[in-house]
């Protein structure tokens, strides 16, 4: 730009010098020659300036184009970044534009609804009525909107955020979370709470009823009175057992629950646990045999003792005659513990159910023996928390064997 200015100043100075010359010495031939030279110089400079200007203009246009390309590239890159991010997000993403057209739906949405929503108008989505209703409301409201919907036994949490550019509505971004697991856990928890209430209600009603009778009938015969007191005792012990087992379960259900692992002589632990139950077996005239190889293993001593006691107690409760054998041995980096009985056995179709909380094959028999219906669920939980495995072999009316393997 400075050069153009200089050229114009030179020309102006030259014109001035020529004018002075004409005033001082008016020689027509020289004047004519000077003017011709000056005009040629002016013309050449003018052409040069013009070329330079158009050259500069071209450079400016090129620069602008470059900047535009850069901006376009950047926005394309961020869009692609958003797309790749949305594919790895683990949640569904739907983008509806201002025409109501879905210009983007990621693979999670496709998985959830088994339908490709890309480039479809939301009005045409009939695959899921609740989803259609949600998008329609979010689109028309032009506001943040949240709702939970159900589609083919699956629960989804939907959140729509409107997109504005200079206060003009440009569509909405919808994020979809699959909350089925959360809902299932919630339902499981609800059912469990209902089961707990039911389980506690039965002994409590019986305690309440009997204490009312005892209170009302002061002249009851001693024999009847003793019978009632015995029921009172039995029912309160049952309540205590249920509450103790519930406490164990709720502790182990905590996310931050950790086993207290120490090195344990497993043979000694089995003998201690078996000795505590010898009297119970003897009362039923059942022989309790132990054949356990001692081994030092890293386990939670109290929890494994609980497993052994629960399994032997069950074996005693569900065996009317014969024997119970507890075997322990090492095999392939695992310690295997078996509790076999010659009891009532379990039907093969019932085996997968017996580890469920409060599941009993014969409710009356279980309650009569003081069972909480939680014993095996605790056993399984403890074994799995140790990285072990539990298996059941049973033949109806012949007997049952519980096989536990614990990693050494």
Q: What is the binding site for ligand ADP (CB under 6 A)?
A: 314-315, 318, 341, 343-344, 346, 354, 359-362, 366, 371-377, 400
Burial status of residue 238 (CB atoms within 10 A of its CB: 0-12, 13-18, 19 or more): buried
Question: 145 near 94, Cβ under 8 Å?
Answer: no
CB atoms within 10 A of CB 338: 19
Q: How far is the CB of 344 from ligand ADP (least distance, A)?
A: 5
By C-beta, is 234 or 265 nearer to ligand ADP? 234
Polymer length in residues for the chain: 408
Cite the DSSP H helix spans in 25-90: 28-88
By C-beta, is 134 or 318 nearer to ligand ADP? 318
Residue with tokens 């699956």: 154
CB atoms within 10 A of CB 366: 19
By C-beta, is 44 or 237 nearer to ligand ADP? 237
**Which residue sits closest to ligand ADP, CB atoms considered?**
371
Q: How far is the CB of 89 from ligand ADP (least distance, A)?
A: 41
By C-beta, is 176 or 346 nearer to ligand ADP? 346
Alpha carbon distance 390, 378 (integer Å): 12
By C-beta, is 269 or 315 nearer to ligand ADP? 315
Question: 207 near 235, Cβ under 8 Å?
Answer: yes
Alpha carbon distance 106, 91 (integer Å): 9
Q: How far is the CB of 314 from ligand ADP (least distance, A)?
A: 3
Q: How far is the CB of 238 from ligand ADP (least distance, A)?
A: 10
Q: How far is the CB of 356 from ligand ADP (least distance, A)?
A: 8
By C-beta, is 135 or 286 nearer to ligand ADP? 286
The closest alpha carbon to 246, from 315, 294, 198, belongs to 198
Q: How far is the CB of 343 from ligand ADP (least distance, A)?
A: 5
Question: 269 near 304, Cβ under 8 Å?
Answer: yes
Q: How far is the CB of 387 from ligand ADP (least distance, A)?
A: 22
Alpha carbon distance 204, 231 (integer Å): 11
Q: Is beta strand 334-341 parallel, antiparallel or unpaired with respect to 296-300? A: unpaired
Q: Is 187 in a helix, a strand, or coil?
A: helix
By C-beta, is 172 or 312 nearer to ligand ADP? 312
Show the CA angle centred on residue 220, arms to residues 216 and 223, nearest 5°.
135
Question: 302 near 260, Cβ under 8 Å?
Answer: yes
By C-beta, is 214 or 392 nearer to ligand ADP? 392
Q: How far is the CB of 380 from ligand ADP (least distance, A)?
A: 9
Question: 92 near 110, Cβ under 8 Å?
Answer: no
């Amino acid at each position: 730009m400075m050069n153009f200015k200089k050229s114009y100043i030179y020309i102006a100075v030259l014109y001035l010098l020529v004018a002075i010359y004409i005033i001082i010495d008016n020689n027509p031939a020289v004047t004519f020659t000077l003017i011709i030279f000056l005009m040629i110089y002016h013309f050449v400079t003018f052409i040069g300036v013009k070329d330079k200007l158009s050259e500069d203009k071209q450079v400016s246009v090129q620069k602008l184009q470059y900047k535009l390309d850069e901006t376009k590239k950047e926005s394309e890159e961020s869009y692609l970044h958003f797309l790749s991010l949305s594919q790895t997000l683990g949640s569904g993403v739907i983008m509806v534009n201002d025409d109501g057209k879905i210009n983007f739906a990621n693979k999670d949405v496709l998985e959830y609804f088994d339908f490709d929503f890309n480039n479809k108008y939301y009005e045409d989505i009939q695959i899921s009525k609740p989803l259609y209703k949600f998008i329609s409301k979010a689109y028309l409201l032009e506001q943040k909107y949240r709702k939970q919907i159900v589609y083919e036994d699956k629960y989804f949490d939907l959140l729509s955020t409107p997109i504005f550019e200079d206060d003009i509505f440009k569509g909405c971004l919808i994020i979809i979370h699959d909350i089925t697991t959360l809902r299932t856990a919630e339902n499981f928890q609800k059912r469990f709470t209902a089961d707990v209430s039911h389980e506690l209600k039965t002994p409590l009603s019986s305690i309440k009823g009997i204490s009312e009778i005892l209170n009302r009938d002061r002249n009851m015969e001693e024999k009847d009175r003793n019978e009632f007191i015995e029921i009172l005792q039995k029912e309160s012990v049952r309540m205590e057992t249920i509450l103790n087992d519930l406490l164990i379960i709720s502790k182990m259900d905590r996310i931050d629950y950790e086993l207290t692992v120490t090195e344990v002589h497993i043979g000694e632990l089995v003998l201690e646990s078996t000795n505590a139950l010898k009297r119970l077996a003897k009362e039923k005239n059942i022989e309790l045999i132990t054949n356990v190889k001692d081994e030092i293993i890293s386990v939670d001593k109290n929890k494994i003792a609980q497993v052994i006691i629960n399994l032997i107690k069950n074996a005693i409760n569900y065996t009317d005659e014969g024997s119970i054998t507890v075997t322990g041995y090492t095999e392939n980096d695992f310690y295997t513990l078996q509790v076999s009985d010659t009891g009532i056995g379990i039907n093969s179709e019932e085996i997968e159910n017996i580890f469920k909380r409060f599941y009993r094959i014969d409710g009356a028999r279980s309650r009569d023996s003081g069972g909480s219906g939680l014993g095996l669920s605790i056993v399984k939980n403890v074994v799995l928390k140790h990285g072990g495995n539990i298996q059941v072999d049973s033949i109806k009316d012949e007997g049952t064997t519980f096989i536990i393997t614990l990693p050494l």
